[in-house]
A and B are shown apart, each in its own frame.
Chain A
């Protein structure tokens, strides 16, 4: 661990000022502190934003759900408006981490968490994400847990968040506040694929803060849920996961929102699967046929080839769980 300064700010303006000068924001600290202990992250200045007024979950009259960036994972999962309107969000949160971590970690921090790629987290290994230009140890190394979608020659690390998969499925927007004012970024544009610059993981500018994640109003009724496949039943990142939300009216699927986790360098939206579902009536054969598209474009590595089939099966299963046996 390296020496660093730690400042607690009480207001947004103060936070932005500190951020502009290169301070790293910290809230729950459940990822950043671990990485600092391993010297993977070496921020010189930490700015604790826990006291900022970003702790609210609100719903507007037209049904837009807004989760403040500092809402704890546990609180977001338990919030009645989240639970009733978006089981997929509650389930994704409750299948994440451990109870202790969910009590500390925040929604903003969750989507900012860094990959679990073991080479990234081991400072003695080459890693383009940690030290650009050193190479990717995972491509030819042990890569059972790595991504099959959205990868590049430079990086094959997955984004580890579960709730981000639900946000991607639901086409959330990320509200940001920076030195130049507030802006909103669609979730799909917020987290970046690695390309040639795996170090750049998100759309945040220098000193910019996440203030909230907003779920746009979706037509009702909306059935939704999250399935996470992993070796251990708790406290493990996903091998594969699927977030599914379906709006079914008069026996026909009118809207379908599907994304997967554990397989992509970012939460992976599946428009081909969605398109296959829309306008159709729920059936076993529909789920199977739609899920066939789940791994389109997959580029498996030496040890994660099983994820291609597993991903399709995960999506198929979750379509059936959410959409019913019909």
Chain B
């Protein structure tokens, strides 16, 4: 078929849902209502490990308006069937309110249901829970490991022994909570044994299959609705106990129940980026050619589930190192299970590896970019596969020029501005570009407008907008004539909205469905004697602005509207499908981040002055949204590098900064001039649409760029994140 004119894809379209969001009309989970709705509030454990010895609910139940208090003493046991449809970690999910065990501080131990939120909150405070407490083990640095996951290529020990330069370095990263603006929220309603939930989720069908498994229902007896997500960063990829408790409470009281976690409760049992210890050893020859790299990693996980993120990729594929070993151990602690957080694993590994590379560059007296160029592989060193696209060389060159990297005095403390020491740093990032099977449905109505559906989510990157653009071009309609709908399990399923997979996967399914529908319309026209297109070759017909015409004879054509009206059809429909081709290529997105920081070494202050990210992500569907993503990724990296740290009191496992005053995320004042450059081009090996993922690679490598800049400014190598005043004094 003739390629469609590209009008919408590549345009810096403003979010199609922007007006809804800024006028408060976008409905998030907690905004939904239902007839007879009542409210649930969770009571959290005040100990970190032990047993519940008694629960006194009398005072709570005595309050007018309180309908029930569910605890392990009276809550019905749920089936908790297996759920192969959802990638839950090995182990078994928390069966909330089913036994007297407290496994982590803040674990839900009761849920109160009342006719008003205020009553439920008051009653929750009146529930008296007594415990037999034990000392929990929550400190990664002192706890024992699980069996390791290992990787090996070449003989790293031998290569290290004969290396001209050897470094052995240990880095530590802090546990981080996602702190999305929207809290986890569920409105649950039962109708004749069927469950409907309005639920914050990044994975509509994952939520559906999980609730079905937990409650022992067929999947089609559960409907999940989630049209808007107020930020998630990976945290809404699975159903947390809160979603189960809301559904359970609704069933028990026979009325729809709303359960919204408080900001404080979001730190208890809803996942986080695990803290890591990451030891790297590097061996290199005198010219900076890496000969060996070993990685020993220890990560937090819970005792009931073994969470693993993608900590291994970066160490295996980023550089052309002949000998690599990896030894990765999870450490079971008396904590809740971690989960995916933007650039899961990669953002952690990149901090260690890219800091170590900077240390090696210093050791060798090489420019950090030059060191990376000397170790740039031609094929994926893990699999031996060719790269689909890997344009890091171009990222380095473009970035160095735009940032003004050269000339750079590599000597630490070489630039001063009053009380401030100025430094620059850079780091590389990569993130696997996966695509997965996805479905979409397309309908073109007689008025010439289209509705496209796929049960994906939009946690902020702009799925609504991007899919509208893809559909508009594939159908030959202006974007104003296309409406994209998502967030309902009655729609065709894609996979979860995460892993930077949505645009390549869902976009390709949308494009497929729209192309099929367009093709059907064209076939209809060229076979219709009354159409001006009668007899034209279908392959020569293109569609733009809702009008079908012969490419080389633009005057010959007609609109979708006239075609449908004449043929007596009130609509055309098509199903789009995308199945990854599984081509033998190594597919990743790439980033290079440059940072300039100012450090007041006397007062221990770090201030980011400017940052630049340069990205190789294949085709960019919407440059405005892509820049937005990059800014968000850099801000997240500033948080990871300088501010964010979930702090646990290891005496009793209490999280002591479970609020946004004490858990520091960057504020506007911390954010300087941030710039993003996306290399032009596409990658047709990852997905049909030509896009690689970009939502995570923009975050990977930000923290080490900042840490390297802090070193350049001060000569102090801080090997633990976040880099705070006390470390720099």
Contacts and interface: CB of A to CB of B under 8 A. Distances in A.
A8 B242 CA distance: 38
Interface string B385-423: 000000000000000000000000000000000010000
A229 B603 contact: yes
Contacts of B668: 234
Contacts of B656: 118-119, 122, 141-142
Contacts of B667: 232-235
Contacts of A121: 659
B607 A1 contact: no
A124 B46 contact: yes
Contact of A144 (B659, B661, B664, B726): B726
Contacts of B654: 122, 124-125
Contacts of B155: none
Contact of A310 (B125, B722, B729): B729
A181 interface: no
A122 B669 CA distance: 29
B724 interface: yes
Contacts of A306: 604, 725-726, 729
B604 A142 contact: no
A232 B670 contact: yes
Contact of A229 (B44, B669, B725): B725
A1 B602 contact: no
B725 A310 contact: yes
A231 B603 contact: no
Contact of B729 (A137, A236, A309, A317): A309
B122 A2 contact: yes
Interface in B563-607: 602-605, 607
Most buried by A among B44, B666, B667: B667
Contacts of A233: 607, 667, 669-670
B726 A116 contact: no
Contacts of A232: 643, 664, 666-667, 669-670
A309 B603 CA distance: 9
A234 B669 contact: yes
B56 interface: no
Given A116-B661, A233-B670, A142 B649 contact: yes
Interface of B: 44, 46, 118, 121-122, 125, 264, 419, 602-605, 607, 642-643, 647, 649, 651, 654, 656-659, 661-662, 664, 666-670, 722, 724-726, 729
A14 B330 CA distance: 63
Contacts, number: 81
Contacts of A1: 118, 121-122, 125
Interface of A: 1-3, 38-39, 116, 118-119, 121-122, 124-125, 137, 140-142, 144-145, 229, 231-237, 239, 306, 309-310, 313-314, 317
Given A1-B121, A141-B656, A236 B664 contact: yes
12 contacts: A1-B118, A1-B121, A1-B122, A3-B122, A118-B662, A122-B658, A141-B649, A229-B604, A233-B667, A234-B667, A235-B669, A313-B602
Nearest to A39: B125
A95 to B, nearest CB: 11
A231 B724 contact: yes
A2 B44 CA distance: 17
A125 B655 CA distance: 11
Most buried by A among B46, B419, B604, B605: B604
Nearest to B639: A232
Nearest to A3: B122
B625 to A, nearest CB: 27
A141 B667 CA distance: 28
A232 to B, nearest CB: 5
Contact of A231 (B118, B121, B643): B643
A135 to B, nearest CB: 12
Given A39-B125, A233-B667, A116 B604 contact: no
A317 B125 CA distance: 47
Contacts of A3: 122
Contacts of B724: 231
B597 to A, nearest CB: 13
Contacts of B651: 140-141
A326 B44 CA distance: 58
B598 to A, nearest CB: 12
B339 to A, nearest CB: 24
B642 A231 contact: yes
Contacts of B602: 313, 317
A317 B603 contact: yes
A34 B419 CA distance: 38
A231 B645 CA distance: 12
Given A1-B121, A142-B649, A232-B667, 16 more contacts: A118-B662, A137-B649, A140-B651, A141-B651, A141-B656, A144-B726, A229-B605, A232-B664, A232-B669, A233-B607, A233-B670, A235-B669, A236-B661, A306-B725, A306-B726, A310-B729
B640 to A, nearest CB: 13
